[in-house]
Chain A
Amino acid sequence: MKGNEAIAEAAIRSGCGLFFGYPITPSTEIMEYLAKKLPQAGGTILQGEDEVASINMCYGAAASGARVMTASSSPGFSLKQEGLSYLAAAELPVVVVNVNRTGPGLGGLGPAQSDYFQCTKGGGHGDYRLIVLTPSKGQELYDYTMQAFDLADQYRNPVLILADGFLGQMMEPVELKVRSREELPPKEWVTDGCRGREKRKIASYALTNEIGEANCLYWQTKYNQIKDRLQRWENFYADDAEYLLVGYGTCGRIAKSVVLTARQQGVRLGLLRPITVWPFPEKAFWGLHERVKGIMTIELNAGQMIEDVKLAVQCKTPVHFYSRQGGMLPTEREIWQAFCRTFQLALTEEEL
């Protein structure tokens, strides 16, 4: 199935009963698939008049305790930022998908990772964070979407699936695994009618500065807890590596081919593929400077994740950068050549 369809199917199988969205290439198939299948599963899908309406419908649905999702692509995702900020403040569990296309502006339809800052550093106003998962293939689009619903409920926080147009449009076999229900905290905060119990309120407004500060400190405690528990990454030949590539999503999987090429040539290259980009997997980089001579990030932007990598290695290891932008993808050979150039590894024409 298509990557977008894998996300949609995972949502249905996670008990997501509501979807509000506004279609945009290259994420449209999520909505298209759900329009066909979600009603059959007893759920409801509604096209809002725009992205702003859709994300706010999600706010209402999540406040009533429902599992809910929305999906968009870069320009549409930008329109959802205000809503995301409110969701984060109200601590509402909503799963949001951004199938990144190119930007800025209307951009193009090709694959890109140029929304990295927007997705990991906020995007909307205020000091909030989304949990951001970055799948790299069809099966992961399915698996991570399932996990996203549990994580959202577990931490009472919006969770973002960050993919790109390539992943969304690509068709790969996906095993429709059944996920065992995780022990999740009971939703004792939902506003689903107060007959027979005390009134509850979900709001994001602090009437005094003292309450405002207390709220901020509370959110940061939660974010620190997530940072502590949730950093995820894949280690691909990184244990004995002299050089490291760092890439997520599509770049992460292309980089795997580069690692295998390098190993054939006797170069000890490894890959760290972040699975969460917030929280960024800093733990994966601890102590690396004692062994690793250099790092190169592979991105589909002008250099965004590289900042997190530099912070993670505390500038003790040189960090370089290679990218294609505007909808283009690097080939395995381009990355390998860039890697050899960067670290001045002399290779014959044939080896390149």
Chain B
Amino acid sequence: MMDKILLAGFGGQGIMFLGKVMAYAGMLNHREVCWIPSYGPEMRGGTANCSVMIANEEIYSPVIEVADAGIVLNQPSYEKFVSRIKPGGVLVVNSSLISLGSQRPDIHLIDIPAGQIANQLGNDHLANMVCLGAIISKLALIDMETVQQAMQFLIGKKKPELLALNLSAICKGIEYGYGSGLHPI
């Protein structure tokens, strides 16, 4: 069993960190994981993307052609990656910054105003965490418990004051993921 996940947004929206949280959640749950950043010159100011694979067996090919799930935080990322979600897969879209263009009726699209929700929580850098919440229930190999452990591991010591805030953003996303945002196939 394997979760192949694509994540994309502007540099600075916390895409790499979002991927790290997922990878650590997998690792702390004794899964095989593989986190791959885009590391070309496009990182400076343009779109940032990374891919995460979580599996309960050895990961051979680390190249994702079509993903089971994805999160896109801005318009260029949406346009670039909407075609790379496999039929029946799920794509979380930050509707605060993205207007849905080309539709994919064959995938679960969760459009969530992550930017606005993050603002309401008092920090617009939390949009990535809101989206993480929205996608958790759609992933096979990580859950809220392991994500919580990963967050504790990654920021619990360094920035404990931010831990609760991040977790509350994830919880908002979870609520939304179960609610009106889910477009059935």
Contact = CB atoms under 8 A, between A and B. Distances in A.
Nearest to A250: B62
Interface stretch (A165-173, A209-217, A219-227): A165-173
A171 B20 contact: yes
Nearest to B40: A109
Nearest to A25: B39
A250 B59 CA distance: 12
A230 interface: no
Contact of A173 (B32, B37, B40, B62): B32
B36 A169 contact: yes
B61 A256 contact: yes
A253 interface: yes
B98 to A, nearest CB: 26
Contact of B60 (A108, A166, A169, A256): A256
Contacts of A329: 63
A171 B35 contact: yes
Interface in A165-215: 165-166, 169-173
A56 interface: no
Interface in B40-64: 40-41, 59-63
B23 interface: yes
Interface string B141-167: 000000000000000000000000000
A109 B39 contact: yes
A253 B61 contact: yes
A231 interface: no
Considering residues A108, A171, A330, A333, which has the most beta carbons from chain B within 10 angstroms of its beta carbon? A171
Interface string B116-159: 00000000000000000000000000000000000000000000
Contacts of A331: 61, 63, 65
A141 interface: no
Considering residues A108, A170, A250, A254, which has the most beta carbons from chain B within 10 angstroms of its beta carbon? A170
A268 B36 CA distance: 31
B35 A109 contact: no
B37 A169 contact: yes
Contact of A170 (B32, B34, B41, B61): B34
Interface of A: 25-26, 108-110, 165-166, 169-173, 250, 253-254, 256-258, 260, 327, 329-333
Complex A-B, nearest 4 residue pairs according to Cβ-Cβ distance, in ascending order = A257-B61, A256-B60, A171-B35, A254-B61
Given A109-B39, A253-B62, A254-B63, 10 more contacts: A109-B41, A170-B34, A170-B35, A170-B36, A171-B34, A173-B32, A173-B33, A256-B61, A257-B60, A332-B61
